[in-house]
Amino acid sequence: MNAMHTVRFSQVDVFSAVPFKGNPLAVVFDADGLDTAQMQAIARWTNLSETTFLLAPDDPEADYRVRIFTTAGELPFAGHPTLGTAYALRESGYRPRRPGRLVQQCGVGLVELAERAHGRWAFAAPPARIAPLPADHRGMLARALGSDAIDAGAAPCTVDNGAPWLLVRMRTAADCLGLRPDDSALAAVTRAAGTSGVAIYGPHAADGPADFEMRCLMTGGDFGFGEDPVTGSANAALACLLEAQGKRPATSYTVRQGTVLERDGRVAIDHDEDGRIWIGGDCVTVIEGRFRCS
């Protein structure tokens, strides 16, 4: 590949209709000519939580194939890249083979996306493996969070839907927002749990801005480090966990995320009559351009 080879890209803000209030995602089009090393180099350069690469599918059921990279490695699945990539593809002029439906091929297999209420698109939450955090790790977790406000009525659990998270419920949204965890101690907890991050959530009051507040703290591995603005995989994991624990508040509910980062991400979760869970939100294009690749 010569130095003048270029590929189109878009930078999309996901889970927000307002630029700079969601989670940014770089989407690289027509990436079949790029190898893994080039994709990883681009993902490191964008320095975003994820960069995706659109490829021709090799499964006849799929509309497209996507590879998802963090600055550190490749993920088999991630939520905001799934929603944002589908949005960027539609915005580029692509028309789904079935109106109102897209099928994405990625590391976890096929993921369905659909146009839901109010024209908002959503992806079907992949199956998740759920396991309670061992009791001897829970004291370590409370010390790492520096809080005694973990909800005793909902055991912390690891939830893996292709992106493994440790989910922890606080008594209130304010308890979630007020956390100032010990990063190194929290990383020790997630390593012991076999995850690369912790998703902390708490319920809002009935008149609050959403049903739940969430924060996702990334503690290494392929996730990288730091707080993620808005996280589709963790919200999909939360929806599966609430269902499994019998704590789903309604058929449809919302999660706010990114507040402490001065973002305002909003995630819509919807359970349909067939038992599928849909994770949706708005997207907006912020940048369009081309990458020059070597």
Give the pLDDT confidence score for residue 293 in this predicted structure.
81
| Stated length of the chain | 294
Tally helices (H) and strands (E) across the chain. 6, 18
pLDDT at res. 81? 96
Provide CB contacts within 8 A for 277, sequence distance 6+.
Answer: 124, 125, 236, 239, 240, 243, 269, 270, 271
Which CA distances in Å does 25 have to 3, 12, 47, 135?
25, 5, 10, 37
288 is catalytic: no
Separation between Cα atoms, residue 193 and residue 155, nearest integer Å = 14
Q: How far apart are CA 16 and CA 277, in angstroms?
A: 20
Please identify which of the residues 50, 74, 227, 288 carries the catalytic annotation.
50
For residue 2, the model assigns a pLDDT of 46
Q: Is there a contact between 183 and 145 (Cβ–Cβ < 8 Å)? A: no
DSSP collapsed to 3 states, 229-270:
CCCHHHHHHHHHHHHHHCCCCCCEEEEEECHHHCCCEEEEEE
Angle (CA) 55-278-200 rounded to 5° is: 100
User: Is 198 in contact with 166 (CB distance < 8 Å)?
Assistant: yes
Cα angle for residues 124, 238, 147 (degrees, 5° grid) = 160
Return averaged pLDDT per consecutive 10 residues of the chain, 294 residues in all.
75 97 97 95 94 97 96 91 97 93 96 92 95 94 96 96 95 98 95 94 97 95 85 96 95 97 97 94 97 82
Q: How many Å apart are CA 59 and CA 65, to the nearest integer?
A: 8
Residue 169, both tokens: 């419920």
Q: How far apart are CA 36 and CA 53, in angstroms?
A: 10
DSSP string, 40-97: HHHHHHHTSS-EEEEE--SSTT-SEEEEEE-SS-EES--HHHHHHHHHHHHHTT---S
DSSP state of 172: S
pLDDT attached to residue 253: 97
What is the pTM assigned to this prediction? 0.92
